[in-house]
Amino acid sequence: MTAKFIVRGGNRLSGTVAIGGAKNSALPILTAAALAAEGESILDNVPDNSDIQHLCAILEALGCQVERVAETTLRIRAQHLENHVAPYHIARRLRGSTYVMGLLLARLGKGEVACPGGCEIGARPVDFHLKGFKALGAEVVVEHGAMVSQSVNLRGGRFYVDRASVGTTVNMIITASLAPGVTILENAACEPEIVDLANFINAMGGRVRGAGTNTVRIEGVDRLHGARHEVIPDRIEAGTYMLMTAAAGGEVRIENVIPEHLGTVIAKLVEAGQEVAEQGDCVVVRSRPIRSVDVETQVYPGFPTDLQSPWVALMGLADGIAVVQETIFENRFGFTNELIRMGANIKVDRNTGIVRGVERYTGAPVEARDIRGGAALVTAALAAEGVTEIGGVRFIDRGYSRMEEKLTALGADVKRVTVEEGP
Ligand code: UD1
């Protein structure tokens, strides 16, 4: 059985949507909670999407106790983390499982974790992670589809993070927190999710300095203890609802956001003619005729690659031509083939999408193949004439909790249906 969204387009959006905790913060923070050999951690504002559920299942299989004590609150106890092998078929499903390798090296001095799959948006190798582990004294090799390490003499080290990789920066911070000595990361990722992770580890008794800049210094400590922490709001989920409002038309108040984390997205939306007002921890978007605006994805604080796909869906309805350049992942335009079925006029040349605005989209059966490409199809479907049937909702569920409920509350006509798997 598989889930589909049936979207009848044309309804304007209005009302308020509350944004959940950031998936890309919650994944490293949950993993880091398992670094604690004593006490328990309480994590608030943890989203309930399938990536988080899979990570919880991996941590439980390693011997941790993970309990959802309230809708968005998890309790983690990791005293009995004793198993060094992550279940292969769960770990391979999400990119965030690479962090479990760092955790196992730090806690047990050995580990075995399936090479991650995640979304089909490019090759997404783990070579930077392996180089980083080596710099900290851990030889990790890829064997039979898994990262494996038996020989570990963990200690601090100096490491240059290629391409300011987010995942590698996370993994180094997690591993180095319990590695004797000092680790210096150069060209580290500066994303807000890195700062959130560092704040949590520091609350656990760790010593991470400089997070949010491109040089991070981690002093390894002997032990970490549990702590309470509230995960930051998901800037990508917030940005998605902002772009959906602009595409579908209407006025939506997006609550529980940190507007500073959305600076570039707000600036680009304003450039595209939309009205955006910041009010404390809310952003209000009021739609206006859409102007074509070029975008190039960049590491934070640039325009996030995770909003490139919904941006293309929005630009597909704009008044001219927009050039969208993807600089982070090499294969992130796959979803445009599905948008074209809906009437979009898009030409893709390697990492550049040329989007010529059309008057309207028309509903069609389409298929999501990655989280954000899926969000782009929903964005287009909300604005389209007629009914769009979106398959591959399991991808959307990896990054967005209850999207159909949130959109329905805003006046959209979105239904989740379960159907037999097609041929
Ligand atoms: C994280 C986010 C993802 C976001 C991305 C960029 C999570 C779980 N996912 O992904 O939503 O789109 O940051 O903001 O937080 N690379 C290598 N070798 C490696 C690691 C990365 O070649 O070992 C390449 C990647 O293929 C990509 C680039 O480096 O082209 C940057 O990737 P990275 O920042 O590591 O992204 P993720 O951590 O996978």
Burial 98-135 (b: 16+ CB within 10 A, else e): bbbbbbbbbbbebbbbbbbebbebeebebebbbebbeb
| Cα–Cα distance, 53 to 147 (Å, whole number) | 22
Does the Cβ of 26 fall within 6 Å of ligand 1?
Answer: no
Examine residue 301 and say whether the peptide bond preceding it is cis (omega within 30 degrees of 0): yes
> Above 60 in pLDDT, residue 121?
no
Atom of ligand 1 nearest to the CA of 191: 14
| Cα–Cα distance, 64 to 104 (Å, whole number) | 12
Q: How far away, in angstroms, is 266 Cα from ligand 1 center?
A: 23
Q: How far away, in angstroms, is 236 Cα from ligand 1 center?
A: 15
Strand order in the sheet with 352-356: 295-296, 321-325, 352-356, 345-349
Does the Cβ of 72 fall within 6 Å of ligand 1?
Answer: no
Task: Choose the residue to mutate in 100, 124, 333 for probing ligand 1, maximizing ligand atoms within 8 Å of C-beta.
Answer: 124
Percent of the chain at pLDDT above 70? 98
| Active site amino acids | 119
pLDDT at 122: 55
Does the Cβ of 24 fall within 6 Å of ligand 1?
Answer: yes
- Cα dihedral 337, 120, 369, 323 sign: negative
The residue nearest atom 13 of ligand 1, judged by CA position, is 166
Q: What share of the chain is helix, strand, coil (3-state, %, to 5)?
A: 35, 30, 35
| Cα–Cα distance, 21 to 200 (Å, whole number) | 14
Q: What is the pLDDT of residues 177-190, one digit of tens each?
A: 999 999 999 999 99
> Above 60 in pLDDT, residue 118?
no
Q: What is the mean pLDDT of residues 192-220?
A: 98
- C-alpha dist (Å) from residue 25 to 112, 156, 242, 412: 23, 24, 20, 29
Kindly state the helix (H) or strand (E) to which residue 59 belongs, with its residue range. helix 50-62
Task: Choose the residue to mutate in 95, 133, 165 for probing ligand 1, maximizing ligand atoms within 8 Å of C-beta.
Answer: 165
Model-wide pTM > 0.85: yes
pLDDT at 322: 98
pLDDT at 242: 98
Contact (Cβ atoms closer than 8 angstroms) between residue 183 and residue 218: yes
Contact (Cβ atoms closer than 8 angstroms) between residue 47 and residue 406: no
pLDDT at 123: 58
Does the Cβ of 236 fall within 6 Å of ligand 1?
Answer: no
| Cα–Cα distance, 265 to 311 (Å, whole number) | 10
Q: What is the pLDDT of residues 61-100, one digit of tens each?
A: 999 999 999 999 999 999 999 999 999 999 998 888 899 9
- C-alpha dist (Å) from residue 184 to 7, 103, 127, 152: 49, 18, 19, 19
Q: What is the mean pLDDT of residues 230-250?
A: 98
Does the Cβ of 125 fall within 6 Å of ligand 1?
Answer: yes
Q: How far away, in angstroms, is 124 Cα from ligand 1 center?
A: 7
Does the Cβ of 96 fall within 6 Å of ligand 1?
Answer: yes
Q: Which residues pair with 141 in a beta bridge?
A: 148
Does the Cβ of 305 fall within 6 Å of ligand 1?
Answer: yes
Contact (Cβ atoms closer than 8 angstroms) between residue 97 and residue 116: yes
pLDDT at 421: 78
3-state secondary structure of 74: strand
> Above 80 in pLDDT, residue 159?
yes
Please state, rounded to an integer, the average pLDDT across all residues of the chain. Answer: 95
Atom of ligand 1 nearest to the CA of 124: 26
Does the Cβ of 129 fall within 6 Å of ligand 1?
Answer: yes
Q: What is the mean pLDDT of residues 116-130?
A: 74
| Closest C-alpha to 177, from 13, 31, 373 | 31
| Cα–Cα distance, 51 to 55 (Å, whole number) | 6
Q: How far away, in angstroms, is 166 Cα from ligand 1 center?
A: 6
Atom of ligand 1 nearest to the CA of 193: 15
